[in-house]
Amino acid sequence: MPPEPRYLAIAAELRRRIEQGELVPGAKVPSTRRIAAEWGVAAATAAKALAALKQEGLIRAEPRSGNVVEGPSRTAATKPAHRPVPRGRPEDLTRGRIVQAAIEIADNEGLAVLSMRGVAARLGVAPMSLYRHVAGKDQLVRLMADAAFGERGYPAQPPTGWRARLELCARTLWSLYRRHPWLAQLSPITRPLPLPNLAVHAEWALAALDGLNLGAAAMCDLHVLFFSHVQGIAVHLEREQQALGASGVSEDEWMDSQAPTLEAIIGTGRYPTFARVLTTLSAEGYDLILDDLFDLGLRLLLDGLATRIHRMAG
DSSP annotation string for 187-252: --TTS----HHHHHHHHHHHHHHTTSS--HHHHHHHHHHHHHHHHHHHHHHHHHHHHHHHH---HH
Residue-level pLDDT at 40: 80
What pLDDT, in 10s, does the model give residues 166-200?
A: 999 999 999 999 999 999 999 888 888 899 999 99
**Is 70 exceeded by the pLDDT of residue 3?**
no
| Verdict on whether the full-model pTM lies above 0.85 | no
Residue-level pLDDT at 73: 40
What pLDDT, in 10s, does the model give residues 80-117?
A: 444 444 555 666 789 999 999 999 999 888 888 899 99
**Is 60 exceeded by the pLDDT of residue 203?**
yes
More confident residue, 90 or 273: 273
Mean pLDDT, rounded, of the chain: 85
First and final C-alpha spacing in the chain: 76
What pLDDT, in 10s, does the model give residues 151-163?
A: 999 999 999 999 9
**What is the Cα–Cα distance from 245 to 131, expressed in whole angstroms?**
30
More confident residue, 250 or 137: 137
**Is 70 exceeded by the pLDDT of residue 265?**
yes
The arithmetic mean of pLDDT across residues 193-213, rounded, is 93
Lowest mean pLDDT of 90-94, 121-125, 133-137, name the range: 90-94
